[in-house]
Amino acid sequence: MRISVALLLELGIILTALSVLGALARRFALSPIPLYLLAGLALGEGGIAPVPAASTFVDTGAGIGVVLLLLTLGLEFSVPEFTMSLRRHLPSAVVDLVLNAAPGAVAGRLWGLDAGGTLALAGVTYVSSSGIIARLLGDLQRLGNRETPAVLSVLVLEDFAMAAYLPLLAVVAAGGTWLQALLGVLLATGAVLAAFTVSYWWGHHLGRLLSHPEAEPLLLRVLGVTLIVAALAEAVHVSAAVGAFLVGLSLTGETADRAREVLSPLRDLFAAVFFLAIGLSVSPAALLPVLPVALVLALVTAMTKLVSGWYAARREGVRRAGRLRAGTALIARGEFSVVIIGLAGVGQERLGALVAAYVIVLSVAAPVLTRYAGTRPAHASAPGPGAKLH
């Protein structure tokens, strides 16, 4: 089998550059995410060193990266404790929706977008990036912090809301009827509820089926089942991230510990590719005309996300510093924004450029803000990244 020399060379350069950037970020106790995003801008179309041969691999790897990030995040928690947190944070989800969808809807109308474009922009400003936030919490060693269950509850409830939103957007953007939209919403919502019910009542059996004393079979089993569940979730317009997260929640005890161990190197590789892909998808030249609008929208919605996270963390009984950490953690936008613009359809080039600029600004700013919002690490008595929270 002949292997492309250009592909190997470009991938080698990409991975070497990412390793240098990662080492540089950690030298200053920062998350490498902003540097990975900026590297994507430099290597994408219109950048200083495009990598066309590696683009297919990066696009595919980005999807796998989101799945692995949410799978390993789910491994940190158990279904019962997370279910309790979700119930507690239904009011937080309502506050999050109202505060963060409204700026996008208002901006869409002021910018002269049609109904589909306005609905799309409302979704972009509403939903945070599960992939970026999952990696950020790990980088900053905050998986054991008291505010983390509040952050994760808001993220998962946003993903559940996307199950209803994405079919609605697809129908509105295509000019379909409200009956078609309603049927799509009901199908996707039912699929989410069914998946969560199965995970809650029978998820503990999954660990027994996937468990194996050797690392290689365990890796193949866990990754294979996760990708299947993620594909089924996407097929019914539910986020693949939700499916992967539910698989992670279902694995407990020794199986979860060993799965986390064997998956960590793979997760780190594809997570870096995911962040790179966000930058690669954007042409720097397209950002400049819409950058002022994107900056204003980013400033407004950074504040609304801060309020959402503050409110959610307060419901957990977290103190002021933890509330601030929760709010800044939720600021990042990412993978869902790309999906939303894809569903918005043709004729939305101006909106696509705005969303790209908006995502880049908040994806770079959020890790920096979160790093300095609360410098205190997880409590010494709290479990670290390798243990479930109980």
> CA triplet 268, 374, 123: central angle to 5 degrees?
65
The pLDDT of residue 377: 46
pLDDT tens-digit profile of 240-254? Answer: 777 788 788 788 778
DSSP, res 53: G
Residue 68 lies in a domain: yes
For the CA atoms of the chain, what is the radius of gyration?
A: 20
Q: How far is CA 169 from the centre of its chain?
A: 19
Q: What is the CATH number of the domain that holds 145?
A: 1.20.1530.20
Distance between CA atoms of 179 and 337, rounded to whole angstroms? 25
Total structural domains in the chain? 1
Distance between CA atoms of 356 and 359, rounded to whole angstroms? 5
The pLDDT of residue 342: 67
The pLDDT of residue 74: 79
Contact by Cβ (8 Å): 54, 11: yes
pTM of the predicted model as reported, rounded to 2 decimal places: 0.73
Which residue's entry shows tokens 């939903």?
127
For the chain, what's the residue count? Answer: 390
Residue 389 lies in a domain: no
Contact by Cβ (8 Å): 169, 123: yes
pLDDT < 50: residue spans in the chain: 346, 377-390
The pLDDT of residue 381: 36
Residue 373 CB partners (closer than 8 Å, separation 6+): 324, 325, 327, 328
Residue 289 lies in a domain: yes
Distance between CA atoms of 216 and 207, rounded to whole angstroms? 16
The pLDDT of residue 385: 38
The pLDDT of residue 80: 72
Q: How far is CA 129 from the centre of its chain?
A: 3
pLDDT tens-digit profile of 153-209? Answer: 898 888 778 777 877 887 777 776 777 777 777 776 776 677 667 767 776 677 788
Residue 163 lies in a domain: yes
Residue 248 lies in a domain: yes
DSSP, res 3: -
Residue 352 lies in a domain: yes
Residue 386 lies in a domain: no
The pLDDT of residue 307: 96
User: What amino acid occupies position 360?
Assistant: I
The pLDDT of residue 203: 67
Which domain covers residue 254, as residue numbers? 5-373
Instruction: Look up residue 225 and give its two tokens.
Output: 């089942």
Residue 202 lies in a domain: yes
